[in-house]
Structure 1
Amino acid sequence: MMVSMVPPQPPAPPYDLPLNTTMQTVATLVLWAGTAALVIHGARMARSERSPFPLFLVLAVAAGSVIEPIYDITYHLHWLDAGEQWTLFTSFGLPQPVWVMPAYVMVFGLPALVLYRSLSENATMGRIFKLGALTTLTTAIFEITAINLDLYVYYGESPWRVFDYPLFIAFMEGAQITGFAVLCAVIRLKTTDVRHQLVVFALFPANFAYDVIGAGFPTLILQNSSPDPNGGLLFASAFVSVALAATALWWSGRLLLATQDAAADATRRPPVAARPAAPDAVTA
């Protein structure tokens, strides 16, 4: 007798849940307006700094928002649709709402644009982690609001749920948001060639994957192991993921502090003394 062995499948998204079309309109208008304002502000900063980097930063986050479907698959996020979503693009079979790009710019790009200059001038590990705590809080507020206004849901088993939001994710994204601002400060300190500043377009998605996917891997593996993963293991794994995210933020912070120390040493180093001129040759 042949026995068919079907591997366990992760939970399916709740495709039948309705979208709040009123809030879709509000989110689209508010977030795109905020993004336009941030682009203008970035352009003004670029003019005052005589460097295109502030504008590059905003545009890099906008371009990097196309990484969202990878996040959606791994973290079980479903954008409510029911045939009424205004779609920006589709990847992995997942339609992305028209406001996902400006949401990235406002949630991830705005803090980096506000913070990177001051971090490049005066950063301490204590300040970096305080900013990480603040961005964790603001991320949780943003996501809990969006979820409870029926714009998207996290489906399946997830640990630390508060108002239907897996709260551990806020710590992952807080580390990612703050870490990106820190690494932008490193770019400001180390680059003199405009072409080198274009690395920020690779840096944003790389840092996103580093902090959110990389540090989150213990919980993500368990979440996607079966439709009904062990709740106790998931709860414990979230602590491991948050600890890894904190470690990643610490590493980024150490990189910035080392870069600042090197810049300060270069400033304090006395100039190389001029080599004395060779004496005139003795003529016969």
Structure 2
Amino acid sequence: MLRDLFVDPPDTLVGHPAAGWAWTVCAAIATVVTLILMPIFARRERTWLWITLVPAGAICFFMESVGDWLGATWYPPNSPLVIGEVLGRPMPFYLVLTYAAYFPLGFWACYQVLKKGPSTARTVGLWIAGGLVNCAVEITFTQTGAHVYYGDNPVRIFGLPLYSIIQNGAFPIMGGAVLLYAKKYLRGRRQLWLLAIYPLGFVGFAVIATWPMYVALNAEPGPVWTWVAAIAAVTMNLVLAAGILFSPWLRNLQREAAQDDRARQGEPVGDPAVRRSPTTPVTAMEPTA
């Protein structure tokens, strides 16, 4: 039934075994590091937030096949350790490992930067860094056949769609922003909401920002409309991501997080321009409450 709605995947594509195994080994190492670090962070900061990131990432694995049909992505059947098919798509084990490590490590790193306070330069730097990391990983594997973006897609750069670079560079920052909110406002069992928030937000952003290209990839309307859809998808990803990353909501969260950190460290909190040391005497020119 799905083949009637979407463009046929390249069933005969054969991936390079060495590339698949390289991905598996790297993802396994990252997952082991994650499983060691997250409990340490959770114990040190007395919060379960870091623990919930691992299953939240793993849950996204089950949504991968939906995104693969929409975005015309294919993992070869000869990939190492294929654990089965989901909606007719071969699912290599390295996808589970990748999601289980990508969410905790990427979101934690961005959280550490975001909590220092609002900074356009830092946010842009994170976005660029995330996009470059995504390029380094995905272009390597698209060029070796570990996976492929197929169909008539005019905005691929060495096999990787431009809108994917924008998305995947912004996702960790958005995850860090959710952590800022969750750490301050979600307590106890409410933190379990992250198990739903992250997967739904992950898929929701991609669909909302990229739906014109998803439609064009599978409807094959011709080169002109495909280009229109591709430009629209790139623009929508840029605008939507920037709207979230530079929103007043996030900047306020960053200010609150920075103030909370200074308060915990015993540093003065508030605007330095109007803050007065408690030892400074009140003069006649300064009204008292």
TM-score, normalised to structure 1's length? Answer: 0.80
Distance 2:130 2:66 in 1: 22
Q: Tell me, what secondary structure is at the counterpart of 1:99?
A: helix
Partner of 2:151: 156
Which is worse superposed, 110-119 or 237-246? 237-246
Partner of 2:20: 24
Amino acid across the alignment from 1:14:
P
Q: Verify the 8 A CA contact 1:43 1:55 in the aligned structure 2.
A: yes
Distance 1:220 1:80, change over 3 A: same
Partner of 1:86: 81
Give aligned-pair identity as a percent: 23
Partner of 1:129: 124
Distance 2:104 2:83 in 1: 19
Which is worse superposed, 205-214 or 225-234? 225-234
Q: Tell me, what secondary structure is at the counterpart of 1:95?
A: strand
Q: Verify the 8 A CA contact 2:41 2:50 in the aligned structure 1.
A: yes
Q: Verify the 8 A CA contact 2:113 2:122 in the aligned structure 1.
A: no
Distance 2:185 2:241 in 1: 24
Q: Do residues 76 (structure 1) and 45 (structure 2) align?
A: no
Partner of 1:213: 207
Distance 1:113 1:62 in 2: 16
Per-residue deviation at 1:237? 2.1
Partner of 2:174: 179
Amino acid across the alignment from 1:91:
V
Q: Which is greater in Rg?
A: 1
Q: Verify the 8 A CA contact 1:216 1:244 in the aligned structure 2.
A: no
Distance 1:9 1:228 in 2: 17
Q: Verify the 8 A CA contact 2:128 2:169 in the aligned structure 1.
A: yes
* Selected match of 1:56 from 23, 27, 52: 52
Partner of 2:248: 254
Partner of 1:281: none
Per-residue deviation at 1:22? 2.3
Distance 2:175 2:202 in 1: 8
Q: Do residues 225 (structure 1) and 224 (structure 2) align?
A: no
Any stretches of 5+ residues in structure 1 without a counterpart? 1-7, 269-284
Distance 1:121 1:197, change over 3 A: farther
Q: How do 1:28-43 and structure 2 match up within 5 A?
A: 28-43=24-39
Partner of 1:271: none
Distance 2:5 2:66 in 1: 18
TM-score, normalised to structure 2's length? Answer: 0.79
Distance 1:108 1:146, change over 3 A: farther
Distance 1:216 1:69, change over 3 A: same
Per-residue deviation at 1:159? 2.8
CA RMSD of aligned residues (A): 2.6
Amino acid across the alignment from 2:214:
L
